[in-house]
Structures are given as structure tokens and as C-alpha cells.
Amino acid sequence: MVESAKPATKPTRKATAKKPAAKKTTTRKAAAQKDTSEKRTPKAQKAAPLKAGATKAATTTKETTGDFKERAVTKAKSAATQGKERTGNAIENLSKIIEDSAKTIDNNVGEKYGNYARSAADAVSSFAEKLNGKEIDEMVEDARGFVRKSPAVAIGAAAVVGFLVSRLVKSGMDDNDA
């Protein structure tokens, strides 16, 4: 009985001896993979300076964008100031025309209607003075306040102004075609 126990232990040992041999080949494959990853490391180090350059480029882009924005705001304010001055002058001229026509209205229609024309001329003139006296930033804030108070009137006024501008542009295009 003792003899039968000995042969049973020998095959078990042989089976365990075969398993470590298979593990060694796996270990060799893993070592080969480590070698290739070590070759990739210098490439990653070369990429680091590019990232620093990209950061500088992003910073430069932000500075350029900020500079562009400042220039755009400055140009817009300059154009708005010029437009405000032209509009103020045009309204002053309109006020003078209404005032001059008040005398003609007195003679043709009556003094009562001439007085209406004079009061209209005064109102237009005071509006021109207010317009010339305000800065662009104040006017923008006034417009924002008006829109907050009565958005329906602001939308209607925007629609009327848009219609008038489109008509002016269309009539300008018709004049160029002729």
C-alpha cells in the first residue's frame, strides 16, 4: 500500500513543474513590452516644451483678443460720437427751419398755428441741446433704462426705425441703379 502512494505524488510534482515554465514566457513578453515603453519616454519629454509654447500662444491670443476688443470699443465710441455730433447739428438745423417757417405760417394760416410751430421748434432745439450735452455712455444707459421701463414701446420704436432705415437704404439703391 505504501508503494501505491509514491507513484501518485510523482505525477503531481511533474504537473507543477510545467506551470512555472509557462509563466516564464509571459514574464519575458512583459519585459519586452517594458523596453518599448522606455523608448517612448523621450518623445513625451520632447512634447513638454511644445506645451509650454502652446501656453504662451494661448496667452498671446488672449492678449490679442483683449487688445482687439479695446480697439473695437474705441472705434465704436468714436463713430458714435461723430454720429451724435452730426445728428445734433441736423436737429439744430431742423429747429431753425421750423422757426423760419413759423413766420410764413403766421402770415398764411394764422398766428395760432405759427405759435405751434415755434413751440415745436423750441422742443426740437432743446432736444438737440440735450443730445449735444450728453456723452455716449450716458445715452446708452438712458436707452437701457427706457427699455427696462417700457419694453413694448422700445420694440415698436426699433421696428419703426428699422423700417425707416430699410426704406432709406432701398431708396439709395434705387438712385444708384438709375
How confident is the model over 70-83, as pLDDT tens digits?
899 889 888 988 99
Q: What is the pLDDT of residues 37-62, one digit of tens each?
A: 455 554 545 555 555 555 555 556 66
Confidence check: pLDDT of 104 > 70: yes
Residues 9, 10, 11, CA angle at the centre, nearest 5°? 95
Q: What is the pTM of this model?
A: 0.47
Q: Is residue 73 part of a domain?
A: yes
Q: Is residue 100 part of a domain?
A: yes
pLDDT, residue 152, reads 94
The number of domains in the chain is 1
Q: Is residue 74 part of a domain?
A: yes
Instruction: State the residue range of the domain holding 99.
Output: 58-133
| DSSP count for the chain of H helices, then E strands | 4, 0
Q: What are phi and psi of 109, to 5 degrees?
A: -110, -40
